[in-house]
C-alpha cells in the first residue's frame, strides 16, 4: 500500500524513485541504516553492493530487530541515538577522507560532479 502511494503511476524502475536503477558512479560516500528484519533489507544490501561496484565508499549498518526508520525514534530507542552518533562520525570521517583525496590529487566522489541517475542501458 505504501509503495503504491509513493510510486503512484510512475515507473518504479525510475532511478529517481529507486536509485538502484541509476548510475551510482561519482556519488559521495553512503551510509545505509537498515534493520535485519525489515522489508527493505534486501534493497539496502543491493544498493550497497551496486554503489561499491560503482566505486562509492559505503558503510552499511545492519541493526538487529529494529523497525524501519528507527533512528528517527532516537528519543526513546538507545539504538536510534547510537545510529545518530554513527551518522555524525561518518559525516566527519567522510569529509576528512574526501579532503585527503583532493589533497592527493584524486577525484573524490563528493559533489564535484552532479549525481547521475539516468537509467542503466540508456
Cell of 16: 529517481
What is the C-alpha to C-alpha distance for residues 40 and 82, in angstroms, rounded to an integer?
20
Q: Per-residue pLDDT averaged across 96-100, rounded?
A: 84
Share of the chain above pLDDT 70, in %: 86
Question: What pLDDT score does 106 carry?
Answer: 62
Does the pLDDT of residue 119 top 50, yes or no? no
Report d(CA 117, CA 114) in Å as an integer.
9
Binned at pLDDT 50, 70 and 90, residue 107 comes out as: low
What is the C-alpha separation between 113 and 118, in angstroms, rounded? 14
What SS3 state is found at 17? coil
pLDDT tens digits, residue range 36-74? 999 899 999 999 999 999 999 999 999 999 999 999 999
pTM assigned to the model: 0.76
Amino acid at each position: 500500500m505504501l509503495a503504491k502511494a509513493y510510486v503512484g503511476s510512475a515507473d518504479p524502475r525510475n532511478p529517481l524513485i529507486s536509485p538502484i536503477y541509476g548510475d551510482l558512479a561519482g556519488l559521495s560516500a553512503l551510509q545505509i541504516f537498515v534493520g535485519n528484519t525489515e522489508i527493505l533489507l534486501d534493497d539496502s544490501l543491493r544498493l550497497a553492493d551496486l554503489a561499491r561496484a560503482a566505486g562509492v565508499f559505503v558503510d552499511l549498518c545492519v541493526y538487529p530487530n529494529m523497525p524501519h526508520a528507527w533512528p528517527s525514534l532516537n528519543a526513546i530507542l538507545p539504538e536510534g541515538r547510537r545510529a545518530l552518533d554513527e551518522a555524525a562520525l561518518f559525516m566527519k570521517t567522510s569529509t576528512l577522507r574526501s579532503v585527503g583525496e583532493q589533497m592527493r590529487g584524486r577525484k573524490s566522489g563528493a559533489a564535484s560532479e552532479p549525481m547521475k541517475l539516468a537509467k542503466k542501458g540508456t
